[in-house]
């Protein structure tokens, strides 16, 4: 009887010493930062925000020196105006005064042709009466033909002058205008890139340069943390991992901040610590998987990366 009592006491002791299953998991808050940089290098001229400030989307963040880019922009604008003026001039043809001069010459040529035609008629009548030689008639005929060709030549010149330049020359000028327009767009883009605005609303988590420092191309100047980019990362044992799936609702408890609802958005496909050889029972109990959950819109505004968190599944 005494042995039975001792065995019962030993069994109770073992049961009481066995660890209770955990009701939640431990983790911490993490943030996906938006690093704002300029694709063009330059000295930091103006830092428009301070570390810890909250900005709305589109708010100016910083400006790099842009004297060279502004000069290139003005040059590109002047070249575009010059190319456009050349194209317009080619399409217009000659100036009005030049067209008037050609028209006056054409009028003189027509008058000369009319006079030579009358002279030819008279010479033909005299030749029929035998008053003049055949050579005089030939000279009158040749003079009229010359004047007639002069009228045709000046008429063609006037028509061509009104048409403007040849199609090939106009096409070349149009290509110059298109190239100048592209250069202007590139210059405008360069100027715009020297001033960067907030792509999204969020917290200015850090400023990485001071005014007056040189910033290389593509190097971030501001790290921005939108509230929707804050998430909780926690680690789930292998025994609980199979019960989780994307979209599950979890409750996140933060010291001093209360509790928040979140949704599982990511489950790691591999454990954080892998045993070197086999998954025996002892090693399997040590496996943990990384899981991430995101907060509803606006819920993460006052949360901060690094805060420890206790997470439990909402059944």
Is 240 domain-assigned? Answer: yes
CB atoms within 10 A of CB 189: 13
Q: Is the pLDDT of residue 19 over 80?
A: no
**Is 297 a domain residue?**
yes
**Whole-prediction pTM:** 0.68
Determine which of 72-76, 95-99, 180-184, 226-230 has the lowest per-residue pLDDT on average: 95-99
Residue 17: inside a domain, yes or no? no
**260-287, pLDDT tens digit by residue?**
999 999 999 888 764 444 444 555 556 7
With respect to residue 146, please indicate whether it lies within any of the assigned structural domains: yes
Residues ≥6 apart with Cβ < 8 Å to 162: 93, 94, 99
Q: Are residues 184 and 77 in the same domain?
A: yes
Q: Report the CATH number at residue 208.
A: 2.40.50.100
Cα distances (Å, whole numbers) of residue 77 to 44, 70, 180, 187, 292:
26, 11, 8, 9, 52
Residue 2 maps to a domain: no
Question: Which range, of 94-108, 138-152, 262-276, 301-315, averages the lowest pLDDT?
Answer: 262-276
User: pLDDT tens digits, residue range 1-10?
Assistant: 445 444 444 4
Q: Are residues 49 and 138 in the same domain?
A: no
Q: Which domain holds residue 248?
A: 22-32+227-313
pLDDT tens digit sequence for 27-39 = 999 999 999 999 9
| Cα dist from 169 to 79, 83, 104, 166, 233, whole Å | 18, 13, 28, 5, 67
Whether the per-residue pLDDT at 82 is higher than 50: the answer is yes
The half-sphere exposure of 275 on its side-chain side, counting CA atoms within 13 A, is: 12
pLDDT at position 283 is 52
Give CA 57 to chain center in angstroms. Answer: 17
Give me the percent of the chain exceeding a pLDDT of 90. Answer: 58
> Tell me: the pLDDT tens digits for 249-266?
999 999 888 999 999 999
């Amino acid at each position: 009887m005494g042995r039975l009592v001792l065995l019962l006491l030993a069994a109770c002791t073992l049961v009481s010493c066995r660890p209770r299953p955990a009701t939640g998991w431990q983790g911490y808050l993490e943030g996906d930062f938006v690093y704002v940089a300029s694709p063009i290098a330059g000295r930091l001229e103006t830092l428009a925000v301070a570390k810890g400030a909250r900005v709305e989307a589109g708010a100016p963040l910083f400006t790099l020196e842009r004297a060279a880019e502004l000069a290139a922009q003005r040059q590109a604008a002047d070249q575009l105006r010059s190319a456009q003026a050349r194209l317009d001039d080619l399409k217009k043809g000659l100036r009005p005064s030049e067209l008037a001069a050609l028209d006056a010459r054409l009028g003189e040529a027509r008058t000369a042709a009319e006079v030579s035609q009358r002279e030819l008629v008279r010479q033909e009548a005299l030749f029929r009466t035998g008053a003049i030689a055949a050579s005089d008639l030939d000279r009158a005929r040749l003079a009229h033909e010359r004047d007639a060709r002069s009228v045709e030549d000046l008429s063609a010149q006037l028509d061509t002058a009104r048409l403007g330049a040849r199609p090939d020359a106009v096409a070349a000028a149009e290509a110059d205008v298109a190239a100048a327009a592209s250069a202007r767009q590139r210059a405008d883009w360069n100027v715009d890139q020297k001033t960067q605005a907030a792509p999204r609303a969020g917290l200015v988590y850090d400023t990485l340069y001071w005014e007056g420092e040189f910033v290389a191309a593509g190097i971030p100047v501001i790290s921005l943390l939108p509230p929707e980019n804050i998430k909780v990362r926690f680690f789930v044992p292998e025994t609980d991992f199979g019960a989780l799936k994307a979209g599950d609702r979890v409750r996140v408890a933060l010291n001093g901040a209360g509790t928040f609802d979140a949704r599982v958005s990511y489950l790691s496909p591999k454990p954080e610590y892998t045993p070197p050889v086999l998954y025996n029972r002892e090693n399997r109990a040590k496996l943990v998987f990384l899981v991430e959950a995101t907060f509803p819109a606006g819920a993460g505004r006052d949360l901060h990366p690094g805060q420890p968190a206790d997470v439990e599944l909402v059944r």
